[in-house]
Chain A
Amino acid sequence: MVSVTEWWHSVKTAHSVWRLTRLYTGLLLSVVAILLVVLYQLSIGQMNRQQQLQMANIIAQQTSLAEQLSHEQFIEQFELQAQSSRQYILSYQIEQKNFGRLSAPPTALSQCPTLSRFPIWLDQFDEIRLVSGCSQPLASGTLIIAVDDESLYELKGQFISASAIALLLAVLLGVITGLVFSMRVLKRINNFNQVALRVESGQLSARVAVSEQNDEYDHMALHINTMLNQLQHSFETISGITDAIAHDLRTPLSHLRQQIESEMLSKQQLNHPSEQLQSMLDKLDEILFTFSAMLELTRLQQQKESNSQHFKAINLQQVIVDAVDLIEPLAEEKQQIVTIGGAEQFSIQGDATLLFRAIYNLLENASKYAGNNAQINVQLTPRGFTVSDNGPGICDLEKEKVFQRLYRIEKSRQVAGFGLGLTLVKAIIQLHNGKIELLDNKPGLIVNVEFIKPNKIKMDESIDPNIADA
C-alpha cells in the first residue's frame, strides 16, 4: 500500500509526466471517437437515410395518386400496394374506416417526416413489435406509413455500447501507456537530476550512468560526463596550484619569521615581547599553519603508501578517551557535557597521532558550533565511532561541501578557522580505509565514522585507562 501511495505521490509531483499522459490520452480518445463516428455514418446512418428516403418516396407517390385517381381507384391501388409492400406497413384512414395493414392506427402519431415509435400486433407471428412511423394527411384521409426497424434499433444500441467500451479501453490504454512511457523518460531525466544534485553538493566524482541503448539520452550523458571530467580536472589543478603557492611561500615566510624573532632578540625582548611584534608573529604563524595544513592534506590524500608504512595496531577507545580528556575543560567553559558511550573494543591499523587529531578535530567542531549547554557524545560502534551533538546541525545541501578544502558555511565565518579541519579529518579517515558521513541528529549533527577492517580486541588485551595513565 505504501509503495502505491508513494508511486502516486511521485506521479502527482512529476508534472511533466501528467502533462504527457493527458496529451497522449486525449489524442488517442479523439482518434477513436472520429473513427467511430465515421463508422456509424457509413453503416447505421446510411441505412437510416435510405429508409427515410424510401418512405418519403412512397408518401410522394401516394400523394400524387390521391390527387390524380378517383377515391375508389385510389383505395384499390392502395390496398394492392399495402399488400405487396413487405418492408413498409401502409395504412389509410378515412374518417372511421381503415384500409391497408393496420386494423387500428395509433392515435397521436407525429406528422411526416418526423418518426415516432408505436407497437403493433402481428397476427401471423403472434407477437408484438415496435415500429417507427408517421402520418401524412392526404386529400380525403390520412396516410400512415411505418417500418419495422427493431433490428436496426437494436443494432444502433449495440453500436453505442460497443463504442462506449471502445472509448473506455482507449482511455485506459492511453493512461497506462502514457504513464509507462513518460515514467521511463522521467526516470532517465531524474538520473541526470540526481547527478547534478550530487555535483552541486560537492561530490565532484559523480557521473551519469550510460545505458547500452545509445540513444539521445546516452549521448547527453556522455557529454555531461565529459564536462564533469573537465570540471574535476580544473578543480584538481586549482588545488595543485594552491599547494604550489603554499609551498613556495613557506620558505620566505619562515625567513620573515626568523627575522622578526632576531629583531626581538636583539632588543632583548624575547621573554617580554612588544605587542606589535608579537601580533605580527601570531599572524604569521596563522598563515604558516594554514599552508602546512594544506600541504599535509595533499600528502595525506595522494601518497597513501608512504603514509601508511609505519601503521601499527591502535586501540581506538584509548585515542577517544585521550581526545575527550583534552577537549573536556574547553567544553566545560561553555557548560557543555562530553560523554563516551559504547563498549566496543577494537583496534585498527593506523597512526595514533593522526587518529587523535581527527577525533579531536571532530570534538572541537562540535564544541565550537553546537553552542553553550550542548550535549556532545562519542559513541563506539561495531565498526567505528560517532560524534554527535544537539547543536544547530548542518543542512543536507552542505553536508558534502563541508569536506571540501577551504569551504566554510556562511554562518560559521565569524568563528576562527580556515575550512581545512573536516577536509583533513576525511583524508585521515580515508587513509585508514574508513569512510565518514554526516547525519542528522534531529536536532544536531552526527558524524559517523566506519572502518573497513577493525580488529576485535580480547578483553585482557585492552588498555585500562587508569593503568595507562599511571
Chain B
Amino acid sequence: MRILVIEDNQTTRQYLQKALQEQGYEIDLADNGQDGLFLALEGDYQLILLDRMLPKLDGLTVLTTLRNAGKQTPVLILSALDSVSERVKGLREGGDDYLIKPFALSELLVRIEILIQRKGTHNEKLTTVLHVADLKMDLLSHKVFRGSTEISLQPKEFKLLRYLMEHNGQVVSRSLLFEAVWDYQFDPQTNVIDVHMARLRKKVEFDGLTPLLETVRGVGYRMVAQR
C-alpha cells in the first residue's frame, strides 16, 4: 500500500510519515504542490494526502489537474481552513474526504482505511442484502433480521447499522458515522453518537446474543462477525 503525502509543514510531514509507516504503509513525500502533482501523476498510489495550502501550486489546483488528467486515486484533503465553504469546495473539486487540522491520528487512520477499502470494493455495491454473521439487512424492503427475528429500527438507526455493516471489520470513527448518517459535515463534539450506538446495540444484541458491535476506545466502533 503506497500513500503520497503532499504537505509543506515539516513537523506535520515527518509526523505523518512516522505514523503511517508504523501502520505498515509505504510513504512518498512532497513538500510543495509542483513536486506533489508530478509524483501523483507518475506514481501508482492507493491514496493521496493533500494539504490545502501549498507553495508553488495550491492544493485545489493539484486536485483539479489530477482529476482532469483522469487519475482517480482517492484524495484526502488536509486543511486548517475549516470554514464550511472551503470544505464544500474541496469535495466538489474531486476530493474524496476532508479532514480539518488539527486532527486526531486515529481519525486519519480510520478514514484512510475506509477510503482505500471503498476503492477496492467499489464494484460490489450493487448488492441488495447485507450479511454480518446472523444479521441480515434487506436494502430494498428496509427490513433487518437477527436470525429469524425481525428488528424494528428508526430510519436513522437503519442508516447507522447499514454503514457499519458495509464497513464490516473496519474501525469507523464517530464523526464518520455522523457524516454518513446525518450528512452534515461537522463534529458534534459530544457523546451523542455513543448514545445512538447504545440504543442500536440494545436492539441488535438483544437477549444476550453474540455481540456484533465493538467499541474501539478513543476511536469509534467496529462491526465484528466473530471474536
Contacts and interface: CB of A to CB of B under 8 A. Distances in A.
A340 to B, nearest CB: 15
Given A265-B18, A353-B186, A354-B84, A469 B105 contact: no
A258 B11 contact: yes
A283 to B, nearest CB: 13
A79 interface: no
Interface residues of A, number: 47
Q: State the main secondary structure of chain A at its contact with B.
A: helix
Contacts of A262: 15, 18-19
Nearest to A270: B106
Contacts of A278: 217-218
Given A272-B217, A469-B155, A470-B142, A265 B22 contact: yes
A107 interface: no
Interface in B47-85: 80, 82-85
Contact of A326 (B22, B188, B216): B188
Interface string A436-470: 00000000000000000000000000000110011
B147 to A, nearest CB: 25
Given A296-B83, A353-B84, A465-B155, A271 B102 contact: no
Given A258-B105, A271-B217, A356 B182 contact: yes
A97 B7 CA distance: 145
Given A258-B11, A265-B18, A322-B184, A270 B83 contact: no
A96 interface: no
Contacts of A329: 192, 195-196, 198-199
Contacts of A470: 142, 155
A389 interface: no
Contacts of B104: 257, 261, 281, 285
Contacts, number: 106
A414 interface: no
A273 B217 contact: yes
A292 B101 CA distance: 10
B184 A352 contact: yes
B219 interface: yes
Interface in A362-421: 364
Given A270-B105, A329-B195, A330-B195, A322 B217 contact: no
Given A262-B19, A469-B159, A254 B101 contact: yes
B156 A469 contact: yes
Interface in A251-291: 253-255, 257-259, 261-262, 265-266, 270-273, 278, 281, 285, 288-289
A255 B154 CA distance: 41
Interface string B195-216: 1101100000000000000001
A363 B109 CA distance: 32
Given A299-B83, A309-B85, A469-B159, A271 B11 contact: no
A156 interface: no
Contacts of B156: 325-326, 469
A466 B186 contact: no
Contact of A307 (B83, B100, B106): B83
Contacts of B22: 265-266
B217 A250 contact: no
Nearest to A289: B189
Contact of B192 (A258, A295, A310, A326): A326
A330 B106 CA distance: 25
Contacts of A148: none
A357 interface: yes
28 contacts: A250-B102, A253-B102, A254-B102, A255-B12, A257-B102, A258-B12, A258-B15, A259-B15, A261-B15, A261-B106, A272-B217, A281-B104, A289-B189, A292-B100, A307-B83, A310-B84, A325-B156, A327-B192, A329-B195, A329-B196, A330-B190, A330-B192, A351-B85, A353-B186, A357-B184, A465-B155, A469-B156, A469-B159
| Nearest 7 A/B pairs, CB to CB | A469-B155, A254-B102, A261-B105, A258-B15, A353-B184, A329-B195, A356-B184
Interface of B: 11-12, 15, 18-19, 22, 80, 82-85, 88-89, 100-102, 104-106, 109, 142, 154-156, 158-159, 182, 184-186, 188-190, 192, 195-196, 198-199, 216-219
Given A306-B85, A326-B182, 18 more contacts: A254-B102, A255-B11, A257-B104, A258-B105, A270-B106, A271-B217, A278-B217, A281-B104, A292-B100, A296-B83, A299-B83, A307-B85, A310-B88, A326-B156, A326-B188, A329-B192, A353-B186, A357-B184
